[in-house]
Structure 1
């Protein structure tokens, strides 16, 4: 139950739902117990009256006695019916409070988990797969809702009912009550043993479900690759194996759950036998009436459903505890990307890298070492290098998706850690190497995060990215809805749309991370010529492995194994006859061929 303590804040927030729900539960159970006493009175009335009734056989008094007797029985029947109706009304109110509360808590918890996900650094998402993240915010939160909703409702009902019923039973016969409650210790031990098994198997099921969700998500995301390599059967076989493991673990849990009901029914049946046997002796001794025995049997039957629900309730609590422990595991993760001074100011664009070193926390790979570079306001710098040289890592550090392992980055002479993270990121435009587009219209993808962006700016950004004519060819133009991850567009169109999204924000610092790799040379020249105007008076960082993308830059930096091996202008580097010239000549020959 320790993991479930996290939910106390929500229970306190919606305490009036819980208080009213508990009150309505008490009232509904009162209306459920009183009919048992009415049945006792009615039965005793019948037994006491029937002998007297036959004594006056054939007299006019017998008819009068029958009328009084019939009216009394009718009155008891109407009272029992009225009690049942009132119990139903208050049961409705119980659900309208406790179950509604659980839906509010589910809503708040999902929002809190999703909000917390967004605060976590990129390294967190590199360590955990998407299926696991989705399982914790969907399946696990649903299990928790079952605890704060139905399980809590049945648990409160069980406690209230036990207290009320046993109190009434003790007022009738302490001896008979003791015999009726005799099987309860056995029931408690059984519940304890089975619950330990449920806890373990519930955790296994949740882990398996996360793995299954991850596999399905990856399979559907890569469906084009699966079809291209004709691996549909292999993919299905793998899914079937994962589903078979999930089924097997679920069946193991079901077998344990199935022990509850036979055990409870056996113990309830034993209680009924004890009532009849001990109660019969008490009737013979003149201590109880047949109505008392009937009342006790009704009390035991009233307890039957709550006691049967005890197993289900305990199972749900154990599942919720397991799920909440998984949720807490991620909620306890804290971001390291915090602002030290929460500085909010307009950027001018000066960038300084001072002895930067960076090691990826999840893999331990050193991506940068002793990196020094200064980019003045309004200047542009091109970062060139082969795959794995550390180019994209610089973009991640500049967007503050990570913090350097050593050294520091200054923006306008102020440490990057001093800036408010969100205020800083709003003033930069980033075009990632791995383009991601949302399942939304082209218009909304361009103005992503800026709902008030005028249409003129959207169109200009698209024109600068050389995508305007392609959009005009679509039947719905800017309202064309893209498929998942922009699957509707070609690779080059996705890159150009990503560029349009970045420049539409009018950023002070523009970061282009190998964003022209999927376009042809002609389109690249058009985009670069348009970017020349955009980059004017704007600090720009162009990251690429193609020399042609660097021709607009004021300074060119060549990286190798995370370190700078050359730096200068195009003319200076060509005169050095070093790595840059070799790279330039190789790509020039390749383009000519």
Structure 2
């Protein structure tokens, strides 16, 4: 239960739902336990008047009157029992409308808490955890937890209140008969305890296997084009089938364990009924209780049947919820490495960038991407960053938007350490076009204005025109309202890159980072985009990471990276005179021999 203690804050939040639900549960049970009392009174009344009825067997008129009067009494009791049943059902309805509704509110809050926590976690977390596993925790695990805060809580409350009230009434009638009736229950409790331990262990294993299945499916769906192109459908299906088989076997094993509850509790309840009838019959013969009391006890035993049957079901739900909540807690307890530092402020930036002795090693791989890196960029300067794969180009951009923090050195923006600036303020003033373009399953318009939802359609079209993608969009049947498939699968690579560029331009930021974002466009389109960008970036600071040389773009500075260090720096003419990597790359490009290397 220690893992489920994390849910107490929700019980406090919805305390009125829970309080009313328990109150309605108690009222419903009170009305239901009145019914056996009515039955007892009917039986006692029948037994008491049966002898009198026999004594007047020769008097037809009196006998007829007796039957009429007794029928009215029976009708009264029948209507009363029906009324109590209706009231019990009505308050049971209210019980579900409070406790089950509360569980849905908690499910809503818990899913949002998990999602919001995912949003603040740093990139390293997402590289270390599979998407399918994260999806499983926000869906399957939350669903199991809801079963605990809803049905499990409701049936537990009902069982406790009903057992307390019924046992009290039974003891009040005859303590000895009550003892015999309830004597099989300790054995039932021991059985439940041991079976629950097994269920908890198996539930944890099942949840882990389910996360694995979800991850395999998600990866297969995302990489379906690769699977098909390499004709690996059968291999992929076998991989999924093997994981599903493990999950199936574990689920069957758990089902077999669950199956122990039904016969175990049926046996205990059966023993209780037999003992009730046998011992109760002896007590009736001795005159200690009436026939009505015996009938009342039999009904009580049957009323306790479902509560005791539900013990196993509720215990199973609680064990599964505990296993799921433990997995949820593992994520919720992860602290983001990248967050607003104490005292961080919103800052209006002009665009001056400085890297001071920066060294950065990726935590999940141990690879040092940047070593003793120093760079100064003045406001409004246009800087090109060139280098081989793994030279640290993309890492430089990631550090600038603070997706990571360097282990050594610092990154300054207008003289402010990035740690002194709030993440929202920093990232809202920088547009970043990543190397791995990502588009959402939404319209083209909404994808372009993703960072600026308030932008009107004219601004959207202007951004698309500047990114040289407007003509392509207008050729689509639904134009800017065209829906993009998952990750933009309905578009070409070049179209996705240009829409991503339009998304960056529409923000009208002070600093722009382009990470090899023109690798999928042809030379003519590239030339057009470069021309548009040159005018757009006139007063802005821009860093363009590329494996190509844009001879038509007049950069203020070009740097060449190798193994995380700057090995060449200067203008286009300066670097050509060095006759190094840049000059070699330019020569190959001029001769039509383009490098295909990109980070």
* TM-score band, normalised by shorter chain: over 0.9
Q: How many residues align?
A: 593
How far residue 157 of structure 1 moved from its aligned partner, in angstroms, is 0.3
For the residues of structure 2 that align with 1:35 and 1:549, how far apart are their CA atoms? 93
For the residues of structure 2 that align with 1:35 and 1:332, how far apart are their CA atoms? 50
The aligned residue for residue 397 of structure 1 is 399
Indicate if the aligned counterparts of 1:550 and 1:556 stay in contact, CA closer than 8 A: no
RMSD: 1.2
Give 1:507-522 correspondences, 5 Å limit: 507-522=509-524
The alignment partner of 1:517 has SS state of coil
Give 1:249-268 correspondences, 5 Å limit: 249-268=250-269
Indicate if the aligned counterparts of 1:436 and 1:486 stay in contact, CA closer than 8 A: yes
The alignment partner of 1:355 has SS state of strand
Indicate if the aligned counterparts of 1:559 and 1:565 stay in contact, CA closer than 8 A: yes
Q: CA, structure 1 residues 317+7, in 2 after alignment: closer, same or farther (shift >3 Å)?
A: same
TM-score (norm 1): 0.98
For the residues of structure 2 that align with 1:313 and 1:339, how far apart are their CA atoms? 43
How far residue 549 of structure 1 moved from its aligned partner, in angstroms, is 7.1
How far residue 234 of structure 1 moved from its aligned partner, in angstroms, is 2.0
Indicate if the aligned counterparts of 1:131 and 1:214 stay in contact, CA closer than 8 A: yes
Give 1:43-442 correspondences, 5 Å limit: 43-59=43-59, 60-340=61-341, 341-442=343-444
Deviations 1:383-440 (A, max 9, x none): 1101111111111111111111111000001101110101210111100000000111
The aligned residue for residue 33 of structure 1 is 33
How far residue 455 of structure 1 moved from its aligned partner, in angstroms, is 2.2
The alignment partner of 1:2 has SS state of coil
The aligned residue for residue 21 of structure 1 is 21
Deviations 1:434-460 (A, max 9, x none): 000011111111100322112222112
Deviations 1:458-495 (A, max 9, x none): 11211111111111111111111111101111001110
1:529 aligns with 2:531: yes
The aligned residue for residue 464 of structure 1 is 466
Deviations 1:354-395 (A, max 9, x none): 011101111111111000000000001111101111111111
For the residues of structure 2 that align with 1:451 and 1:584, how far apart are their CA atoms? 41
For the residues of structure 2 that align with 1:56 and 1:343, how far apart are their CA atoms? 99
Indicate if the aligned counterparts of 2:558 and 2:571 stay in contact, CA closer than 8 A: yes
The alignment partner of 2:591 has SS state of helix
For the residues of structure 2 that align with 1:247 and 1:51, how far apart are their CA atoms? 65
How far residue 63 of structure 1 moved from its aligned partner, in angstroms, is 2.1
For the residues of structure 2 that align with 1:328 and 1:293, how far apart are their CA atoms? 51
Deviations 1:560-579 (A, max 9, x none): 11111111111111111122
For the residues of structure 2 that align with 1:199 and 1:591, how far apart are their CA atoms? 62
How far residue 228 of structure 1 moved from its aligned partner, in angstroms, is 1.7
TM-score (norm 2): 0.97
The aligned residue for residue 42 of structure 1 is 42
How far residue 226 of structure 1 moved from its aligned partner, in angstroms, is 1.6
Indicate if the aligned counterparts of 1:508 and 1:538 stay in contact, CA closer than 8 A: yes
For the residues of structure 1 that align with 2:195 and 2:395, how far apart are their CA atoms? 52
How far residue 551 of structure 1 moved from its aligned partner, in angstroms, is 4.1
For the residues of structure 2 that align with 1:566 and 1:394, how far apart are their CA atoms? 16
For the residues of structure 2 that align with 1:275 and 1:548, how far apart are their CA atoms? 94
For the residues of structure 1 that align with 2:280 and 2:46, how far apart are their CA atoms? 19
Deviations 1:260-286 (A, max 9, x none): 011001000001111111111111111
For the residues of structure 1 that align with 2:377 and 2:129, how far apart are their CA atoms? 35
1:503 aligns with 2:505: yes
Deviations 1:530-578 (A, max 9, x none): 1111111100011111123794321111111111111111111111112
Deviations 1:217-241 (A, max 9, x none): 1111111122222222222222221
Q: Extract unaligned runs of 5+ from structure 2.
A: none
Indicate if the aligned counterparts of 1:551 and 1:570 stay in contact, CA closer than 8 A: no
For the residues of structure 2 that align with 1:433 and 1:27, how far apart are their CA atoms? 64
The aligned residue for residue 478 of structure 2 is 476
For the residues of structure 1 that align with 2:458 and 2:306, how far apart are their CA atoms? 67
The alignment partner of 2:358 has SS state of strand
The aligned residue for residue 496 of structure 2 is 494
Indicate if the aligned counterparts of 1:542 and 1:549 stay in contact, CA closer than 8 A: no
Indicate if the aligned counterparts of 2:451 and 2:503 stay in contact, CA closer than 8 A: no
For the residues of structure 1 that align with 2:394 and 2:347, how far apart are their CA atoms? 26
How far residue 583 of structure 1 moved from its aligned partner, in angstroms, is 2.0
How far residue 64 of structure 1 moved from its aligned partner, in angstroms, is 2.0
